Every structure is written in structure tokens, then in C-alpha cells.
Chains A and B, each alone.
Chain A
Amino acid sequence: MIEQLNKAFESRVRLGVMAVLVVNDWVDHARLKELLGVTDGNLASHLSALEELKYVQVRKRFVGKRPNTSYKSSVTGAKAFRTHLEAIERLIPRP
């Protein structure tokens, strides 16, 4: 049962990022920062970890003259997140 808890989601930030991405289409860096209340550097390192696992898709483009990076959950990522969530739910003792 415990094995189903995904190591990738041990960090609260990574779990939070996935939570936002599974219910939204492309979300940009600034919006994620605002929702999670973390610093740029912290967020960036967690995002690249998720990217390496192929849990998120990344899109870089320019909005006017400013570069804008957006993220979206991949099918693998969404599945992993859901499995992890179910595992957490099973940890809650039933009344």
C-alpha cells in the first residue's frame, strides 16, 4: 500500500504543481508561482524534476517581447498523480 505512494510527489511543491496542472490546460510559470507561493528558483527546480520524469510537457514561446514558459500535465503524469492521490486516500483511517 505504501509502495503506491510516489517518491516524486514527496515534495509538497511537486504535488501542488501536479494538482494545478491536472485540472488546467497550459499554466505559465508566474501563475504557478502565485498559486503555490514559492520562489522562482524553488519552483524551477521542481518543474525540471517533473519534466525529467516526463510528467509535464513544457512550452516556451514569446508573449510580445517577453519569453513565457507554460506547463501541462502529460498522460503519464496525470496517471501517476491519480494513483498517488488514491494511495493517500487509503491512508486515511475510516471512521
Chain B
Amino acid sequence: MTHNDPSQELAHIRGLMERSTRFLSLSGLSGVVAGVVALFGATLARFHINDALTPDADFLTYGLERGYSPLHDLRVTLIMDAGLVLFMALLGAFWFTWRRSRRTGQHLWDSSARRLVVNMLVPLGVGGLFCLALFYYGLPGLVAPATLIFYGLALFNASKYTLDEIRWLGMSELALGIVAMFWLEAGLLFWAIGFGVLHIFYGGLMYLRYERGTEQNA
């Protein structure tokens, strides 16, 4: 073993360093499912907002300070919408990534997966609480841009521990979030682009790059 081909040797070392630090079993299909769910969720939210909105309501508060009866409170409906979307998206993401990890032989819950989840959950959790505070103070118009920004930061942060596409997805979410911050009337549209279209786009890209063709050896 003394005189291996040096470039092969280097490739072997790099591969090990990569595999030991990054979670590479993330499935692109997870992103596609999350994107489709998000588009449904955004459409649902659009109807709810249209129902509740009075013609003179502004796009920052949606007229929420006027005090709707608690049962028909738009806030409750929107938070329920969001919760449902989150649950469905996570379920889909988990299923496809689990399926893929069985194929790649990488454990689903190894140290690289744990690192990915922790680095993702800290910014995301803070963002979630921040959005609840926005609702609490009657500023739902800022929620869509804020979710994009915190999600973008979470992805950007976690991308060190997984596929490179996640870094680009994160930066795209951040750019959208910043534009949405100054264009509140289109907040939901930007949200649908960020969580729907971008997920489908990057998820599809990841699927085509890494997974297509590996399906048969399940």
C-alpha cells in the first residue's frame, strides 16, 4: 500500500472528510413535497385573509386591532394554517430523507444529522417565537417576510453540514425576505415563492443531481 496513486489517495481522504461532517442523505424530493404543501397553504391563507380583510385594512396589521371575535380571529386561523403546512412538510421531508438514507447506507440519526438539525433549529426556533410575537402585537403583515428571513438564516447556517445547494436556497430565501420586507402588500406572494417555488426548484435540482438513477438499487 506504500505507493498508491496520489490523486486517488487525496480523493479518498477528501471523501472521508466530507462524509464524516456532512449529512448527504437529504432527499431533494423532501423539498419538492414541502414546496407543494406550501403552495396549498398559501392559497388557503389567501382565502382566509380575503374573507377577513376589510377594504380599508392596511397590509401591516390586516385590521386586526379592530378586535374580531376570538372565534373568527384571523390570527388563530392563520396560525392553524401555518401549523398544518409545517406538519405536512416535515412529514414529507422526513419520509423521503428516511427512504434515501436507507439507500445511501448513511444512518438517519448520526452525528452529522444531529449537527445539521441543531444548527437549523436554533435560528428557526427563535424565528418562530419572533413571528408569534408579531402576531401578538397585531403585525401579521411582517410575518411572511420574517419567516423567509429566519428560514434563510437557518438554511445558510446549516448548509455547512449538508449539500451545497442548501446554501444557495438559504441565500435565495434571504433575498426574497428582504424584498418582501419592503413590499408588504405582496407578502404572501413572496412567501409562496420562497417556500413553494424555491423548494420545488432546489429540491428538483438536488433530485436530478444526486438521486436520479440510484432509485433501482433500493
Bound: A11/B7 CA distance, A: 16
Chain A residues with CB under 8 Å of B12's CB are: 12, 16
User: What string of 1s and 0s marks CB contacts (under 8 Å) between B90-116 and chain A?
Assistant: 000000000000000001001100000
Chain A residues with CB under 8 Å of B13's CB are: 15-16, 19, 85
The answer, yes or no, to whether B54 is at the interface (CB within 8 Å) is no
**Interface residue from A11, A23, A88, A92 paired with B17 (Cβ < 8 Å):** A23
Bound: A49/B16 CA distance, A: 20
CB–CB B6/A27 < 8 A: no
CB–CB A24/B20 < 8 A: yes
Chain B residues with CB under 8 Å of A24's CB are: 20-21, 111
CB–CB A11/B16 < 8 A: no
Interface size on B, residues (CB 8 A): 17
A83–chain B nearest beta-carbon distance, Å: 14
Bound: A85/B107 CA distance, A: 29
Name the interface size band of chain A.
20 to 34
CB–CB A11/B1 < 8 A: yes
**Interface residue from B1, B4, B7, B110 paired with A31 (Cβ < 8 Å):** B110
Query: B19: nearest residue on chain A (CB-CB)?
Result: A35
Bound: A16/B9 CA distance, A: 10
The answer, yes or no, to whether B50 is at the interface (CB within 8 Å) is no
Of residues 1 to 50 in B, which have CB atoms within 8 Å of A's CB atoms? 1-2, 4, 6-7, 9-10, 12-13, 16-17, 19-21
Chain A residues with CB under 8 Å of B9's CB are: 15, 88
Q: A10-B1, A11-B1 are in contact. Are A35 and B10 (CB under 8 A)?
A: no
Chain A residues with CB under 8 Å of B20's CB are: 19-20, 23-24, 27, 31, 35
Chain B residues with CB under 8 Å of A35's CB are: 16, 19-20
Chain A residues with CB under 8 Å of B6's CB are: 88-89, 91-92
Bound: A92/B23 CA distance, A: 30
CB–CB A16/B16 < 8 A: yes
The answer, yes or no, to whether A36 is at the interface (CB within 8 Å) is yes
B residues neighboring A (CB under 8 Å): 1-2, 4, 6-7, 9-10, 12-13, 16-17, 19-21, 107, 110-111
A residues neighboring B (CB under 8 Å): 10-12, 15-16, 19-20, 22-24, 27, 31, 34-36, 85, 88-89, 91-92
Top 7 nearest A-B pairs (CB, nearest first) are: A91-B6, A20-B20, A19-B16, A19-B13, A23-B17, A88-B6, A92-B6
List 7 A-B pairs, Cβ < 8 Å. A15-B13, A19-B20, A20-B16, A23-B20, A24-B21, A27-B111, A89-B6
